[in-house]
Amino acid sequence: MTVSVLVPSSLTREAEDKREATRKLGYVARAATIFRADRLIVYPDRDGETGRFDGGFVSTVLRYAATPPYLRNEAWGMRDELEYAGVLPPLRAMSQTGSESTGSGSSRQGIVTEVGPEGRVRVNCGLQHPISLNVPPKMAVDEGERVTVRISSRRPVRAKLVDEPLPGLSVERTDLQAALGREDAGVRIASSRYGEELTVGRLETLAGRVEGDGMTVAFGAPERGLPAILGIEASAIEASSGQGDAVEPSSDRDDAADDGVEPTADPGFDLWLNTVPDQGSEVVRTEEALFATLAPLSLRE
């Protein structure tokens, strides 16, 4: 069961400067971490990008935010996109801090600092000094590569290198269709003010599906929601009532072109969902929508 969160490359389109854009991305990463998302995926919305903070900037800052603090300097160094990285709120991911990072069998990220002879490497994994570990059979590692280290004791240090996916939040760049087409996508949800209102009854039905299959939740950008990004008329979404009916692209290509949108078909959502049905603000920011949506969808039966 996996949880994937999809945000557009135009996520910071309304930010006045790099500092504000960085702070906004920090709250997006924090929301994904709080609700234990496995993947944070940046999908392309080039028509919505302002040119200042494109998809490369968005994904770089999110990847940096998702990197354990003890690896950031070594993994990233100095980059222009990270000029205001200091304003990022700490994620304090459970896979990196607290009891899970020191308890028996806990896993954390490390970075290979040296490849030595006889199948041994030195790894920086946030302990006082880099530690020397055996490389598991059939596992090849290179200097600078990130690896998974399982720590069973810190005093004395007992740890081993394991051939497993890196713990923590993974940040990727891919298109909507590819993300929704993954075998482990689970329930595919489009977050939109034009979707079906989330009610107690609806949530009860969704909770069982999400708990068993996981979910993929997609969000739009400021003043440019998913319908605008996909070129889908809001009336078509409202008519579908969030029941997974096919949502057709806008039939008026001229109007869509005026909006800077190339009409496309629904990429494959199971339902369109409005998790703030009585919003008091004209616009719900993307980082706010993440909290409003992931919180109820994380509830269990």
Average pLDDT for 21-42: 97
Q: What is the per-residue pLDDT for 243? A: 47
Q: How confident is the model at residue 19 (pLDDT cuts 50, 70, 90)?
A: very high
**141 vs 45: CA distance, rounded Å:** 35
Q: What's the mean pLDDT when you consider all of the chain?
A: 86
Three-state DSSP state, 120: strand
pTM of the model: 0.85
The pair of structure tokens assigned to 283 is 């616009």
Residue 19: phi, psi to the nearest 5?
Answer: -60, -45
Contacts of 273 (CB under 8 A, 6+ apart): 189, 190, 191, 192, 195, 196, 198, 242, 293
Q: What is the per-residue pLDDT for 128? A: 81
pLDDT digits (tens, 9 = 90+) for 183-224: 999 999 999 999 999 999 999 889 999 999 999 999 999 889
Q: Which of 45-54, 249-258, 281-290 has the highest mean pLDDT?
A: 281-290
Average pLDDT for 115-133: 90
pLDDT digits (tens, 9 = 90+) for 137-161: 889 999 999 999 998 887 888 899 9
Beta-carbon neighbour count of residue 158 at 10 Å? 12
Q: What is the per-residue pLDDT for 129? A: 87
118, pLDDT greater than 90: no
Tell me the torsion sign for CA atoms 265, 267, 268, 271.
negative
pLDDT digits (tens, 9 = 90+) for 219-265: 999 889 999 999 998 888 877 644 444 444 433 433 433 433 344 45
**219 vs 275: CA distance, rounded Å:** 12
DSSP code of 117? S
Q: What is the widest separation between alpha-carbon atoms in the chain?
A: 69
67, pLDDT greater than 70: yes
**205 vs 297: CA distance, rounded Å:** 11
Residue 93: phi, psi to the nearest 5?
Answer: -60, 140
**152 vs 106: CA distance, rounded Å:** 7
Burial group, residue 20, by CB count within 10 angstroms (0-12, 13-18, 19+):
middle
Q: What is the per-residue pLDDT for 237? A: 86
